[in-house]
Every structure is written in C-alpha cells, then in structure tokens.
Structure 1
Amino acid sequence: MVVTVASVVEALRIGVGFLWTAAWAILVGLTVTSLVQVYVSKERMAGLLGEGDVTGLVRATAFGAASSGCSFGAVAIGKGLFKKGAHAVNFMAFMFASTNLVVELGLMILILLGWEFLLAELLGGLVLIVVMAGIVHLTLPENRFEEVRRTLNERDSEAGITEDPTCGMEGKDEYTVTTDDGETLKFCSEGCMETYLQQTASGGGWREDLRSWGGWYKVANQFRKEWSMIYKDIVAGFLISGFVIVFVPQWVWNALFLQGDGVLVTAENAVMGVAIAVISFVGSMGNVPFAVALWSGGVSFAGIIAFVYADLVTVPVLNIYRKYYGWAVMLYLLGVFFVTMAFAGFLMELLFDALGIVPNLAGGLTATEQTYFKLDYTFYLNLIAFAFVGFLAYVYRRGLGAPGEYRDPVCGMRTDDDGPSATHDGETYYFCADTCRRAFEDSPESFADTSPRIHGDQSGHEHHH
C-alpha cells in the first residue's frame, strides 16, 4: 500500500478513536485497582502462596486479579513473592492473573471486542492456570526452583537489592526510610514510599479514610502510580492498531493464519496468536487494541484469545526473566506459558463453537467505517471519568491530606498547621479533615500516644512511628 497523508490520518483516526471508545473503561478499571491496592492488605501474601496445592493456587489467582495490570510490574512483584517463598506454580499463576484477569483489562475487552471475548478471557484464563499448574507439577523437580530461589536471594543480597515492601518491585537508594528499630527499607518510587508511611501510621479503617482528604490522597497517589506504569503500552497499542489496520494488507494475515474450518486450523491459529504476541513488543493492556486489529484482519477467535493471553512472553518480558532467573528458567517459563496460552485459546474456540457463540465479524462495521466521536453514551461516560480523574489530580497536586510537618494521629496523613486542630494534655494535634478531628475528640487516648510533629528530613528519610 502506498503511504499517503490521508492514510496516515486515517490510521491515527482509528487508533485515537479506539482509545476514546475505551477511555472510560480504562479509567474506571484503574480506579478500582487503586482502591484495592491501597485498602487490601498484602502483608501475608508471600506466606499464603508458599504451598503448591489448590488453596495456594486459588489465592495466587485472587491476589493477581486484585493487583495492577502492568506486565513488568507483575513480573517484578512475582519475583519478590518467589524470593520470599511462594511456590513456583503460585507465582506463575499470580503473574498471569495480574495481567489477564484484572478489572481494567476486562472492561477494555468488553468495550472493544465484545462479551464473548470477555467470557473467553475469564473462563480460558482459569483453564490456563489449572493446565499450567498441572504441567509444572509434572515436569519441574521441586529442588530446581529451590536452587534458583537460593541463587536469586544470594545474588540480590550481594548486590544490595531489596524489594519495595509496598508493591514488591525493586527498591532504590533515593527512596529510603529507616524505622525506629534500625531497619532500612527501600522503595521503588516516592509514591510507594509515601504510601508505606501513610499505611503504617494510619489508625482508621477504609470507610473513615474515604471520608477525609487524606484517604483520597492515597487513592490519587496510587492511581498516578498505576497510570505511570501502563500509559506507554496503552497509547502505543492503540496507535499501532490503527496503523496495522490501515497498512497491513489482508494477504499477510491469510499467510500467517490458516483459513477455513477444522481442528488443525484452530490449533495453528492459536499457536500463531502466541507467536505474534512474542514479537509484537506490546504488553499490558496495549495488546487489546492490537487484538482488535488482528480481529479486523480476519484472525480466528482462537488466535485472538491466545494473543491477548500472551503479554507475559513478549521479548522484553522474556529478557527480564533471563536477568532474574537465567536462561534455563526463562526458556522453561516461555515453554510452559506458550503451550498453556495456545491450548487455552484453542479450547475456547472449540467450546464456543459448540455453544454457537463465536462472534461473527462479518455482521459489523469495519474499523474504517465506524464513527468514533459523537454524542452517545461513550461521550458522557468519558466526561464523567475525566472529571473524576481531574478530581484525583486536584487532590494530589494540591496535596490535600498529603505530606506536611505534622501527622494526623487518626488516619496517618501528613498535614500542616492550617487545617483542623485539637488539643489534648497540652499537645496540639493537626488533622487532614474535620472527620478525623471529631474521631480524635471522641477518643483522644486512642490516638495521642505519639508526637504529632514529624521529625527529621522531610524528603522521606525520617524515622517513622
């Protein structure tokens, strides 16, 4: 195809149009993820994932689905869980669930591909985890991963690498907190460091938190962190999808993916779906709009489902496995994930075909025929979603309930002396909101056991109580 200005504009129109269509779903999903990340305790996660039985597998899947949807974040957190004793099966299940069973991904699939794909993603994802667990138990000697775990811990210890206690990713020297008992904690970012300080100092529950500015500052801080991890993949995925639809001719898809009916055709399409994902370099949620482009090119249901599963085997992610665990384990993870992802896609098409619910692309408008920007439900949902994100940005940028010279004794937020205050035993305490002040006044003895002033360096390298 000849590249013209008109074709480039059309590719951009489709890519941005896809992004506009799914924007509210992405923002809603990130909000839910942020709430879960802030208010669901993960302190005992690694211990709960130490057994390779059904209970451990279910917990790993649930923890992963409640985590964020970034491929690189999932791999880093999975490494931290594995180092602390999580069973090999469970840390694999966690990684898959945190990239394929999260809320924001499900909403994107529903909006861009339809309910059939969402059902296949969820059902097939569970099938994949069960099959993967069976393969690992049958093929992997227990002592092999124990040896890898010891080597990983020794290497990281020698290099001074520590995990962020908030998210499990690698901590950095510039984000350090020293506790009162002399322990040094490192965090991956300022956001995680502040989240840790807030959580350890907090004395209220989530209901009380969300009735104060400090609680919403926590959510805004986490939302910013979640978005910063995935926005590049999302934007790249949507833009690439538009260019793929406009510039990749149909014969390319016909050459890669066999056409017609039959079990062998379905199997080839599923295998090719994973293979395309490996070399696509598009991970996280960015592979959903890419999947739309493949679907528009006539790739089968099995190929699309397998492709969406496969963001844990892209070349950049495989390179991280190699750095963490070595070539042998990287190849083992690639083999297990590749087989299970292709098998799950293959099985979903057979099942959905038997039920008669494989979607028919021929009945709908093509990407070039669709009108994306119009006054419909998408416009109004986006308006609401953007307004809410604007509220979170306002809370974060204004620092409402955020770090200050004083610590709110009720919710743990840092605050300044221009907010609500109360005096007890000659000491003045400052609060992020009247809700916290009233809670303090109702039971001051419950909260007045530490000094209200934060001592030390305000950059975050202080002792905390």
Structure 2
Amino acid sequence: MAFAMFWEILWALILGFALSGVVQAVVSKAEMSRLLPDDSPRTLAIACGLGAASSSCSYAAVALARSIFRKGASFTAAIVFELASTNLVLELGIIMIVLLGWQFALAEFIGAPIMVVILVWLFGRFLSERMVETARQQAEKGLAGSMEGHAEMDMSVTGGSLWSRVTSAKGFTAISHYFLMDWAAVWRDVAGGLLIAGALAAWVPKAFWRSFFFTGHPTFALVWGPLVGPLVAVISFVCSVGNVPLAAVLWNSGISFGGVIAFIFADLIVIPIIDIYRRYYTAPIAWFLTWTMFVAMSVAGLAVEMLFKTVGWVPIERAATITEAHVEWNYTTVLNVVFLALAAILVWRAATTGGFGMLRMMNMSPQTQGGRHHNRPRHIH
C-alpha cells in the first residue's frame, strides 16, 4: 500500500519540487531579513509570500526562520515566514489535490492566512519584549538543530528579468540544486508518512477511529477534530508533505474536515521540532511557540470547516486516495514517466555541477560551514 500511494503521488512530488526550485532560484535569502524588519501587516504579508517561495521542508523552515531572526528580522515575522514555508507552498497543494481533493487544498490555502492572523494576535497579546530578547540571545548562540546548512545556502540568481534568470544556465543549475536539496530534505518524511499511513490503514480498525473521532456525534466532532488533529500530528513525528498520506487515512477513518486541515497545519509542532525550538530559543519560548501554534492551528481548522460548510464545499464522500499495491498503465503512470524524465534531467544537471557535494553541507551548522567558506554556495549574479 505504501508503494502504491507513493506511485500515485510521485509525479506530483516531482512537479512540486521542480516548481519550488524555480521559485527559490529567483528569490534571494539574503533579502529576507531586510524585508522583515517588523510585524506590520505589510511585513507579515511579505513574510507569507517569502515563505510560500521557499522549501517545504519543516526542519529547513525552522532553521531559516532562526537564521533571518539572527540577521535582524522581527521574531513574529520570522515565525510567520516559517508557517508559510510549510503551509503555502505549491508542492503541498498539489499533493493534497491528488490524495484528498481540491477542497482540502483550497482549505489549506485559505486556512493558513487565518492561522497566521490568529497567531499574530496571540503574539501581540502574550509575547513580551523580554521574551523576544531572551529568544534572540539564545538564537545568537547558534546551537545546532537540523538543516542549518540548508537554511544558509543561497543559490538564487540575481540580475536580469525573471524569465532570463530562470532560463539561463546559472538558473538551470540553481533549480537543479534546489530540486535535489529539497528531495534530500524531505524524503524521510515522505517515506515515513507513507509507511505509517499504510500501517494505520491496514492494522487499525476503522471502528476505533470512528469512536476516537466521535463520528456518531457530528456537532461534537466538529470541535473535537481540530483539537485532536494537531495532537495526532505531534506524536506522529512526520512533517513536511509527508503528513498528507496520513491525513488521507485520517479523513477516510472519520476525522472532521477541519481536523484534517489542523492536522496538516501541525507539522511545525511535532516533538523533534519542539526540541529544536528549545535549543534555538530556550524551553519557555519553545513552550510559548507550541501552545500558540496549537491554538492558531485548531481555531483555523475549525474556522475553515465552518466556512466551507456554509458554502457547501465540505466533501460528503470520504474517498481519499489510498490505493492497493499495484501499478497499471493509466494517466498516473504516464505522468510519472514524464516527470521521472524531468527529474533525471535535473539530477543529471545537479550531479555535473557539484550538487551532490552540496548535499554534504545541508546539516552542517553555519560555524562548521565557516571552515569551508570557499565552498559555500552564494547567490549567483
């Protein structure tokens, strides 16, 4: 079942990461800190846009948020950027359409800004200047988390029109490197999500899930789903796009529509990432981020379900794509063949331009990379 689900989404993963590579190749990380100096509505909108233009890897998003915070960005804007990086990216929407349906993808992209607004409001009420200073002092220590090397790499192409940058030889190289790096960053989460989804679908009786999600009590389930969805995510240890297959299993098993959305939102409060928050910003700030994100994710999930119920967009059928283990000649196979060819071209380009050497730097801290400064990727003029 895990392989069949992987085969179902393979073309979408390749397309999503290729598009992500194109966007990252023309958006310079060096500009991010300068563009996020405060928590004004304009700055936060820019943070969402920059997040949508970055890698979908949750660990890379967390590392990059700390990086731009250390370089002078507002703490609130850095966290908003982090949320957008994992919830407003193209590849996530494509995978959700394939496995869950367009309604879920649309709910994700409508719900994410709602979540941001709620989180910013909570920060405004409960985040003090003293807490921000504590977080900054801890961040300046540069303690290792995960994917710091990924966060520091800037291979964007600057100068010239957008089209000329994308189609240039340097642009092609940058796209191929980002494509390779994103795959290397998330493959564990994708594999883990598929394996766990397959195991849950095969081994956990649907009667258990129906009872757990209170499917016989629709009114209570409406509220319960967005509350329990993030909690399931916390203990699943799966993040990035890897939690979408799990979301498909949960939807078929009876969780509410808003519960699915809240579950997908919650990849930034899985246990390993909470521990990284502790190292990056201190334990009290990690707890603050966890509970404020949980509240924002749950309320946004509930809000988007109520909105979609009002307009009649909540699917009636629970028919997320969870296929049995077989591959046949159909449109999915054709798309996979086409996009595997594209992936082969991008991997070949990366392999012939130092891309695999770059991968060894992805988990290095900036301090370690400093010792190899001459090999460190910079944005390309």
TM-score by length of 1: 0.72
Which AA in structure 2 matches 1:460? N
Matches within 5 A, 1:165-184: 170-171=148-149
One of 368, 375, 379 as aligned partner of 1:460: 375
TM-superposed deviation, 1:261: 4.5
One of 330, 346, 350 as aligned partner of 1:396: 350
Conservation of the 8 A alpha-carbon contact between 1:256 and 1:272: no
Which AA in structure 2 matches 1:306? A
Q: Which runs of 5+ in 2 are unaligned?
A: 358-371
Give the structure 2 partner of residue 64 of structure 1. Answer: 51
Give the structure 1 partner of residue 251 of structure 2. Answer: 295
Conservation of the 8 A alpha-carbon contact between 1:217 and 1:400: no
Matches within 5 A, 1:416-455: none
Conservation of the 8 A alpha-carbon contact between 1:245 and 1:296: no
TM-superposed deviation, 1:325: 1.0
Query: Is 1:357 matched with 2:357?
Result: no
Conservation of the 8 A alpha-carbon contact between 1:38 and 1:218: yes
Give the structure 2 partner of residue 105 of structure 1. Answer: 92
Would the alpha carbon gap of residues 47 and 397 (structure 1) be closer, same or farther in structure 2, given more than 3 Å must change?
A: closer
Using the alignment, how far apart are the partners of 2:37 and 2:166 within structure 1?
33
Query: Is 1:152 matched with 2:139?
Result: yes
Using the alignment, how far apart are the partners of 2:50 and 2:373 within structure 1?
33
Query: Is 1:375 matched with 2:329?
Result: yes
TM-superposed deviation, 1:33: 0.9
Give the structure 2 partner of residue 131 of structure 1. Answer: 118
TM-score by length of 2: 0.87
TM-superposed deviation, 1:74: 0.5
Would the alpha carbon gap of residues 398 and 113 (structure 1) be closer, same or farther in structure 2, given more than 3 Å must change?
A: same
Give the structure 1 partner of residue 272 of structure 2. Answer: 316
Deviates more, 1:203-212 or 1:256-265: 203-212
Matches within 5 A, 1:201-350: 207-208=163-164, 210-350=166-306
Give the structure 2 partner of residue 140 of structure 1. Answer: 127
Using the alignment, how far apart are the partners of 1:62 and 1:399 within structure 2?
29
Give the structure 2 partner of residue 451 of structure 1. Answer: none
Give the structure 1 partner of residue 33 of structure 2. Answer: 46
User: How many residue pairs are counted as aligned between the two chains?
Assistant: 366
RCO (CA 8 Å, sep 6+): is it higher in 1 or 2?
2
TM-superposed deviation, 1:277: 0.5
TM-superposed deviation, 1:142: 2.4
Which AA in structure 2 matches 1:49? L
Using the alignment, how far apart are the partners of 2:173 and 2:320 within structure 1?
43
Using the alignment, how far apart are the partners of 1:52 and 1:365 within structure 2?
38
TM-superposed deviation, 1:208: 4.4
Using the alignment, how far apart are the partners of 1:117 and 1:344 within structure 2?
13
Query: Is 1:92 matched with 2:90?
Result: no
Conservation of the 8 A alpha-carbon contact between 1:213 and 1:400: no
TM-superposed deviation, 1:302: 1.6
Query: Is 1:385 matched with 2:329?
Result: no
Would the alpha carbon gap of residues 261 and 24 (structure 1) be closer, same or farther in structure 2, given more than 3 Å must change?
A: same
Kindly provide the CA deviation profile for residues 364-391 of structure 1, in whole angstroms up to 9, marking residues without a partner as x: 48736x6862222212111111001111
Using the alignment, how far apart are the partners of 1:461 and 1:151 within structure 2?
25
SS in structure 1 opposite 2:148? coil
SS in structure 1 opposite 2:30? coil
Using the alignment, how far apart are the partners of 1:355 and 1:388 within structure 2?
39
TM-superposed deviation, 1:396: 2.6
TM-superposed deviation, 1:459: 7.3
Would the alpha carbon gap of residues 296 and 395 (structure 1) be closer, same or farther in structure 2, given more than 3 Å must change?
A: same
What is the CA RMSD across the aligned residues, in angstroms?
Answer: 3.1
Would the alpha carbon gap of residues 271 and 458 (structure 1) be closer, same or farther in structure 2, given more than 3 Å must change?
A: closer
Structure number with larger C-alpha Rg: 1
Which AA in structure 1 matches 2:116? I
Conservation of the 8 A alpha-carbon contact between 1:39 and 1:206: yes
Kindly provide the CA deviation profile for residues 383-432 of structure 1, in whole angstroms up to 9, marking residues without a partner as x: 111001111122233349999xxxxxxxxxxxxxxxxxxxxxxxxxxxxx
Deviates more, 1:81-90 or 1:309-318: 81-90
Conservation of the 8 A alpha-carbon contact between 1:70 and 1:99: yes
Deviates more, 1:312-321 or 1:374-383: 374-383
Kindly provide the CA deviation profile for residues 190-231 of structure 1, in whole angstroms up to 9, marking residues without a partner as x: xx48x48xx5xx776654455554432222122111111011
Which AA in structure 1 matches 2:32? M
Q: Which runs of 5+ in 1 are unaligned?
A: 1-13, 172-186, 404-456
Would the alpha carbon gap of residues 461 and 308 (structure 1) be closer, same or farther in structure 2, given more than 3 Å must change?
A: closer
Which AA in structure 2 matches 1:244? L
Kindly provide the CA deviation profile for residues 292-324 of structure 1, in whole angstroms up to 9, marking residues without a partner as x: 111121222121111111000000110100111
Using the alignment, how far apart are the partners of 1:268 and 1:377 within structure 2?
38
